């Protein structure tokens, strides 16, 4: 099955890249965007037979490698 | 003093740190990241600077899970000394051996310049050759050196006196201008709870020969090899 993991910075953690993108959007004249936070998306193919098993595997993947939980949150979507 | 320098794909400062260690009298072995053991009799494990795994995912993230890091973790748990410089500091944070994380520099630029540091403690295995409060002139070269920890962790680090070095001006004063990567509390280096693991962003190994521009980095290696 296919899955998607979204990793985002926790609230309050400074995101210099997000700020730079925010400034770039303003300089392009794209108005109405109040703030930008940059994150990461991982698209995965999981061989697990069922959703709960896949989710457990993906949770381990996030905790052990894909996210640094000191500064990042993660969300798992089974597609 | 027997030092083992762990080399990851993308490490590039291993020869410099090995040279600095030998200069101070240490015996040095190189250890490949895929090795499961450090050489018998290793006193100090060193994680050198560079760009392990091309900084993919996050700086130090993949190296932090390498086989050799299990050996480094076991070495640290036995009370063995561990030193991580620049990318090595990032790897120590990612591997859980040190608290916090190194984020993108606040100005989003790779910074590469001479940097003065204030030595916060001298009662450690890493800094006994320095004077307390001494200002040392070394180098920094990194894109992700902005030290961050949550408020509780930061308070614990400060409360336990675990800051090794802070970015300062030439007079030893902590200023916003001297803290160019934006690190919390101008932290340039941190000790583990037991004090046997040190991670630092600046490069003391750059400045061990007057011919190259300075010798203030010698104190760290002299302390370790003493």
Find the mean pLDDT for residues A8-29.
91
Distance, CA of A2 to CA of A34 (rounded, Å):
33
Say whether B113 is catalytic.
no
pLDDT value at residue B226: 85
Residue A66: closest CA among chain B residues belongs to which residue?
B57
Q: Measure in Å the smallest separation between the Cα of B225 and chain A Cα atoms.
A: 34
pLDDT value at residue B99: 98
What percentage of chain A has pLDDT greater than the value 70? 100
Query: What tokens were used for B105?
Result: 């520099």
| Subunit contact B149:A70, Cβ cutoff 8 A | yes
Our CA angle for B105, B108, B111, nearest 5°, is: 65
Domains of chain B are 2-225 (3.40.50.880)
pLDDT surpasses 90 at A12: no
Instruction: Check CB contact of A23 with chain B, cutoff 8 Å.
Output: no
Q: Taking Cα atoms as reference points, which of B94, B23, B80, B96 lies closest to residue B46?
A: B80
Q: Which residues make beta-bridge pairs with B2?
A: B27
Q: What is the CATH number of domain A2-78?
A: 3.30.1280.10
Average pLDDT for chain B: 97
Q: How confident is the model at residue A14 (pLDDT cuts 50, 70, 90)?
A: confident
Which pLDDT tens digits describe chain B residue by residue (226 residues)? Answer: 999 999 999 999 999 999 999 999 999 999 999 999 999 999 999 999 999 999 999 999 999 999 999 999 999 999 999 999 999 999 999 999 999 999 999 998 999 999 999 999 999 999 999 999 999 999 999 999 999 999 999 999 999 999 999 999 999 999 999 999 999 999 999 999 999 999 999 999 999 999 999 999 999 999 999 8
Token pair 């894909």: residue: A66
B177 φ/ψ sector (left φ>0, alpha ψ -120 to 50, else beta): alpha
pLDDT value at residue B116: 98
pLDDT surpasses 90 at A16: no
Residue of A16, A39, A64 for testing the chain B interface, max B β-carbons within 10 Å: A16
In this predicted complex, what is the ipTM? 0.82
pLDDT value at residue B200: 98
Instruction: Check CB contact of A41 with chain B, cutoff 8 Å.
Output: no
Find the mean pLDDT for residues A39-59.
95
Distance, CA of B36 to CA of B39 (rounded, Å):
10
Chain A CB contacts of B103 below 8 Å: 13-14, 16, 71
Instruction: Check CB contact of A65 with chain B, cutoff 8 Å.
Output: yes
Chain A CB contacts of B101 below 8 Å: 68, 70-71
Instruction: Check CB contact of B69 with chain A, cutoff 8 Å.
Output: no
B117 φ/ψ sector (left φ>0, alpha ψ -120 to 50, else beta): beta
User: Helices marked H in chain A — which ranges?
Assistant: 16-27, 51-61
Say whether B112 is catalytic.
no
Question: Which three-class secondary structure state does DSSP give residue B148?
Answer: strand
Say whether B158 is catalytic.
no
Distance, CA of A16 to CA of A24 (rounded, Å):
12
For chain A, the structural domain boundaries read: 2-78
CA distances from B51 to B89, B106, B205 (A): 12, 19, 17
Q: Using N-to-C axis directions, what is the helix angle for B14-23 and B218-225, rounded to 10°?
A: 60
B59, B75, B86, B94: the catalytic one is B86
pLDDT value at residue B103: 95
- Tell me the count of A-B CB pairs closer than 8 A: 36
| Subunit contact A16:B58, Cβ cutoff 8 A | no
B74 φ, ψ (degrees, to nearest 5): -65, -40
Q: What is the dihedral of CA B18, B21, B22, B28, to 10 degrees?
A: -60
What one-character-per-residue DSSP string does B87-110 give? HHHHHHHHTTSSSSEEEPPTTSS-
Residue of A20, A40, A65 for testing the chain B interface, max B β-carbons within 10 Å: A65
């Amino acid at each position: 099955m296919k899955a998607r993991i979204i990793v985002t910075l926790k609230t309050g953690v400074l995101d210099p890249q997000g700020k730079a993108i925010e400034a770039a959007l303003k300089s392009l004249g794209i108005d109405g965007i109040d703030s930008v936070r940059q994150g990461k998306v991982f698209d995965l193919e999981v061989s697990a037979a069922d959703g709960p098993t896949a989710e457990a595997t993906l949770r381990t993947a996030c905790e052990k490698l894909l996210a640094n939980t000191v500064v990042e949150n993660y969300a798992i979507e089974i597609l | 003093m027997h030092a083992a320098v762990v080399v990851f794909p993308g490490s590039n400062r291993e020869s410099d740190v090995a040279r600095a260690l030998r200069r101070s009298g240490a015996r040095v072995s190189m250890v490949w990241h895929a090795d499961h053991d450090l050489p018998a009799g290793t006193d100090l494990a060193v994680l050198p600077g560079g760009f392990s795994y091309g900084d993919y995912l996050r700086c130090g993230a993949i190296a932090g899970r390498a086989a050799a890091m299990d050996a480094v973790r076991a070495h640290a748990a036995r009370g063995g000394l561990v030193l991580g410089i620049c990318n090595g500091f990032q790897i120590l944070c990612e591997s859980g051996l040190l608290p916090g994380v190194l984020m993108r520099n606040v100005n989003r630029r790779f910074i590469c310049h001479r940097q003065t540091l204030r030595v916060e403690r001298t009662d450690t295995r890493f800094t006994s050759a320095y004077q307390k409060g001494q200002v040392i002139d070394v180098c920094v070269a990194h894109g992700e050196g902005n030290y961050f920890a949550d408020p509780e962790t930061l308070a614990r680090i400060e409360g336990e006196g675990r800051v090794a070095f802070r970015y300062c001006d030439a007079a030893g004063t902590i200023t916003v201008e001297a803290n160019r990567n934006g690190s919390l509390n101008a932290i340039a280096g941190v000790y583990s709870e037991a004090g046997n693991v040190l991670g630092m962003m600046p490069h003391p190994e750059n400045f061990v020969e007057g011919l190259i521009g300075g010798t203030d980095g010698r104190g760290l290696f002299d302390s370790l090899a003493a």
